[in-house]
Amino acid sequence: MPDVLTISYIKNNPNFYNYCDQQLEDVVGIDEYHSFTACKRLSDSANNNPPTNFSNMNGIGEDFDKWARSKEYRGYIHIPNPDYRNQENPTKNPEKVTDAERNPYGYTKISQAP
Q: What is the pLDDT of residue 96?
A: 57
Per-residue pLDDT of the chain (114 residues; tens, 9 = 90+): 677 788 888 887 878 877 888 888 888 888 888 888 888 888 888 888 888 888 877 777 788 888 888 878 888 877 776 665 655 555 555 555 556 666 666 666 665 555
Identify residue 38 by its one-letter amino acid code.
Answer: A
- Segment holding 8, helix H or strand E: strand 4-8
Q: What is the pLDDT of residue 98?
A: 57
Is 100 within 8 Å of 79 (Cβ atoms)? yes
Q: Is the dihedral of CA 93, 108, 48, 18 positive or negative?
A: positive
Could you tell me how many residues make up the chain?
114
DSSP string, 12-81: --TTHHHHHHHIIIIII---HHHHHHHHHHHHHTPPPPPPS--S-SSSTTSHHHHHHHHT-SSEEEEE-S
Identify residue 102 by its one-letter amino acid code.
Answer: R
